[in-house]
Structure formats: structure tokens, C-alpha cells
Amino acid sequence: MTSTDSAQQPTDAPAKAPAKDPWDLPDVSGLVVGVLGGTGPQGKGLAYRLARAGQKVIIGSRAAERAQAAADELGHGIEGHDNAETARRSDLVIVAVPWEGHGKTLESLREELAGKLVVDCVNPLGFDKKGAYALKPQEGSAAEQAAALLPDSRVTAAFHHLSAVLLQDPEIAEIDTDVMVLGEVRADVEIVQALAGRIPGMRGVFAGRLRNAHQVESLVANLISVNRRYKAHAGLRVTDV
Amino acid sequence: MTSTDSAQQPTDAPAKAPAKDPWDLPDVSGLVVGVLGGTGPQGKGLAYRLARAGQKVIIGSRAAERAQAAADELGHGIEGHDNAETARRSDLVIVAVPWEGHGKTLESLREELAGKLVVDCVNPLGFDKKGAYALKPQEGSAAEQAAALLPDSRVTAAFHHLSAVLLQDPEIAEIDTDVMVLGEVRADVEIVQALAGRIPGMRGVFAGRLRNAHQVESLVANLISVNRRYKAHAGLRVTDV
């Protein structure tokens, strides 16, 4: 057991310039958000929630016509294009492809994703008779794999712990969960936090650097166990924050 | 992104015998709880909270006199003994030793811990200038190391995400967090869930098998980042459960 309090400031520390308010987040309402793998349940659910919150969203898929069909189904001004076109047209690109296609897809989009803010939400998991378990990517995590494959992009990680069922259910107005956001550059992380905060019920919480992404990604295996035991669509709240 | 909903039952599934209520937990008020490493901040905080909730608690340490001193300081009927004596006298033994001493301590207590319910709450972490990061034990996790070293014990994992500062502060009446409990045997897991539930504010939630303990243990690195950014003592709530 390790104390989580190691960063606590001594109460008699000398006065310093006030730290930036961690909840002072940028206005991201004008950003175009692309969702690679936007025809899968999670990508589609996330595209729907963001568009419903007023964000301009483009769904990407390997086949443009499948992306277009998903976009038409969801409405809210969502467009559909192939992954490359989606990446080109977007300011911020959410990577929601299956883990199996993760590396290959990103490698093929290196040019289109250059300069973009990339938000990886892929959970490398295996499944067997006992349920889900974590897979450990060679790079450490899916997010670190993305960072390695996309040296000219700004890579962050977020949106791992969402229930596709809840995201896609139009009857549900609020999603009761925090979104852990990881990244190396504070300004990028804050954009993703702000984006998460646009979805009613959600809050984006900074949760560390990319080297600590693996446990956030693989915690989905635990949430699957929770969902099975409690017949739930579990999310996570960070308390005292 | 992998759906967390994979366990969802089809709504037209044939009627089955009603599943056991996952919140129907045993009465654990009569169990004697030992805390190995009970003189460290987390072990001491946990011992204090459990004793304050009415549990009989024994603090264990390598040196009996240090354990005794910590017990005297905390009150609430807490006893202090060396680790071996603590294990012998307890029904349920919480392992809260530093990761560095984890394997060696457990190996030396194999006999005393035989037949006992062992609750591992150790987080294998490294620290450098950039903060905390996960260490990957050869066995997969601290809990799996415990299971490997204690073949005659019933090993579970829980209590990873608690703030020692909050645990030890007598002014704080409730700790606002869920406790993820992992294990292979449902009856054992439920005892630990019930024990967590004795502390006001806490709730023990089943969160998977021991093979999924690593991400729960190492998520503490993320909570340390949260605490630093938000000047908080973060905990976690599982929503929709």
C-alpha cells in the first residue's frame, strides 16, 4: 500500500504565485471532432453524445459509405468520411478503433494526423472463458503506441471507461461518470477535459502522463466484471476533486 | 475502445433462478483483523478506521514494541504484536507492508497465514522526477505474488486507493470512496466487501479476478497525479452500481 498523498504540500510552505485553476478550461465548442472507428458501438456512442452537445463531429471508417450511413442514422449534423478524410477535416481526432487494428490504422494516417490533437480511447484487452484481461502493448499502452507511431501529433488518452449502451441510448440525458484524461502537455490535456465536460454528466479529470495509461486502459477489464456482477453499466467518479 | 457492456444479458433470455443479490453480504463484525505493516501511514489509517467502526484490530510490525506503540496511540482496543503473532491471532490479515518488503514478509509468514483470509493492498510503484509509475511484478501483481507465495491462504486484494491522510484524520467521519475488491472465491470477496462497508462512507465493490489486480494496484500512480493537480485526496466511486 502506497500513500496517494505524496504530493501533499507542507502547510507552512512559503507563499508562491497562485497556481492556475485546474478547472479553468478552454472553450472547445468550435473544434471539429473526428472519430476514427466511429461506426463501432463506442465510437458511435461518443460521436452521438458530442454532436448532441453541439460539437461538430465527423465519423470515420475504413469505408466512407459505412461512415456516411452511421452519420445519417445519428443525425445532429454528423458527417461521415473514410478515416483519412476524417483526420484531415478534424481538429481533434478520437481513436476508437478495435485494438487489433490500432497500430496499422494509425501508421497509415501519420500524415493526416500530423499537428492534430489525437485522443486515444482504445483498451487492449483479451477475452477467454473467465472474462476479460489486460493485454500489455509493447510500447506500454495503446496511447504510448499511438505516440510512438504519430511523432508529429499531440497524443492524449481519454474516454476509456464509458458504456456504449448508455452513450447510444437517446433516452438517457446524462452520463454519470468522470473521464480520466492523460497526456504530456497540459494545454492539450485541458482541451480534452473541456471536450469531455461538454457531455452532460461527464467531467474531464487530469489523471497523469501517458506512461500511466496502461492501467487506465486495462481497468476496463475490471469494469466488465463489475457490470457482470451488478448487471450495471459502470462508470467512475474521482472523489474529493 | 472496448465496450464494457459485453456481459449484458439479452432481454429475451429464458427465465432463470434469481441470481444471488450481490449486496447480500455476510456479517463480519466478529472477525479479528490483523494489519501487517500496520505502523505505516496506510496500515495505521486502515487499522484506525476499522477499529473505530467496532472491529477488533491487531497491528503487526517487524518489531512488537513498535506495533504496541502504534496500537496505544490509536486506542479503540487495538493491540500490537509482531507480524507472525498478528497473523496467528487474526481471522483476516490485511497486507499493508511496503512493496519492497512484500515478498520476503509473506514468504516468512506462510505457516501463520495458512487458512487465513489475506487481503493484499500493496501498490507496486516506482518514483522519479516525473512522479509515480507502475512497477510490474513478475507474478503480474502484488496480489498474485501473494497468492503464489501463500498457497494455503485465501488471497484477495482491496483497499488500494485510500488516502492515508483522510484515514488518519479523526475529524473526518466518512471516507467518500468505493473499495474495489478482487479475488477468485466469491465467499472470500464478499467478506472483504463487508469489511470495507463497515467504514462509514466506504462500499466494497467486486471488481474482478486477481489476474486483473495489476491495473487496480497501479492506478494509484494516477491518483497521485490527480492529488497533485487538484490538491486533493482523491478516491473512486463506481457509478451505476
Q: Interface pTM (ipTM) of the complex?
A: 0.93
**Is B102 within the bounds of a domain?**
yes
**Is B168 within the bounds of a domain?**
yes
Nearest Cα residue in chain A from B123: A1
> For chain B, what percent of residues have pLDDT higher than 70?
93
Radius of gyration of the CA atoms of chain B, in A? 18
**Residues pairing with B117 in the sheet:** B92, B154
**Is A13 within the bounds of a domain?**
no
pLDDT of residue A14: 52
The verdict on a CB contact (< 8 Å) between B226 and A220 is no
pLDDT of residue B16: 63
**Is A17 within the bounds of a domain?**
no
Chain B residues whose CB is inside 8 A of the A133 CB are 211-212
Per the structure, the count of domains in chain B is 1
pLDDT exceeds 60 at position B13: no
Q: Report how far residue B108's alpha carbon sits from residue B172's, in angstroms, rounded to the nearest whole number.
A: 36
Out of B5, B46, B162, closest to residue A165 by CB: B5
CATH number of residue B98's parent domain: 3.40.50.720
Nearest Cα residue in chain A from B225: A208
Rounded to the nearest 5 degrees, what angle is found at the Cα of B196, between the Cα atoms of B172 and B220?
A: 75
Q: Report how far residue A199's alpha carbon sits from residue B30's, in angstroms, rounded to the nearest whole number.
A: 46
Chain B residues whose CB is inside 8 A of the A234 CB are 4, 238-241
**Is A1 within the bounds of a domain?**
no
Cα dihedral across residues B172, B174, B180, B186: positive or negative: positive
Segments forming the whole domain that contains residue B133: 27-230
The pTM (predicted TM-score) of the whole model is: 0.93
Nearest Cα residue in chain B from A19: B229
CA distance A137 to chain B (A): 13
Residue B87: band (very low, low, confident or very high) from pLDDT cuts 50, 70, 90: very high
The verdict on a CB contact (< 8 Å) between B215 and A134 is yes
Q: Which long-range contacts (CB under 8 A, 24 or more apart) does B226-230 make?
A: B226/A205, B226/A206, B226/A207, B226/A208, B226/A238, B226/A241, B227/A4, B227/A5, B227/A6, B227/A7, B227/A8, B227/B163, B228/A7, B228/B131, B229/A22, B229/A206, B230/A22, B230/A205, B230/A206, B230/A240, B230/A241
Nearest Cα residue in chain A from B119: A1
Q: Report how far residue A48's alpha carbon sits from residue A140's, in angstroms, rounded to the nearest whole number.
A: 30
**Is A18 within the bounds of a domain?**
no
**Is B206 within the bounds of a domain?**
yes
Chain A residues whose CB is inside 8 A of the B131 CB are 7, 208-209
Q: Report how far residue B125's alpha carbon sits from residue B121's, in angstroms, rounded to the nearest whole number.
A: 12
Chain A residues whose CB is inside 8 A of the B214 CB are 134, 215, 218
pLDDT of residue B228: 96
Chain A residues whose CB is inside 8 A of the B46 CB are 1
pLDDT of residue A6: 47
Q: Report how far residue B170's alpha carbon sits from residue B18's, in angstroms, rounded to the nearest whole number.
A: 42
The verdict on a CB contact (< 8 Å) between B1 and A160 is yes
**Is A67 within the bounds of a domain?**
yes
Residue B4: band (very low, low, confident or very high) from pLDDT cuts 50, 70, 90: low
Rounded to the nearest 5 degrees, what angle is found at the Cα of A91, between the Cα atoms of A89 and A95?
A: 90
**Across residues B148-153, what is the average pLDDT?**
98
Q: Are strands B235-239 and A235-239 parallel, antiparallel or unpaired?
A: antiparallel
Looking up cell 510512438 gives A148
pLDDT of residue B20: 87
Which regions in chain A score pLDDT beneath 70?
A: 1-17
Contacts of A202 (CB under 8 A, 6+ apart): A175, A177, A178, A179, A196
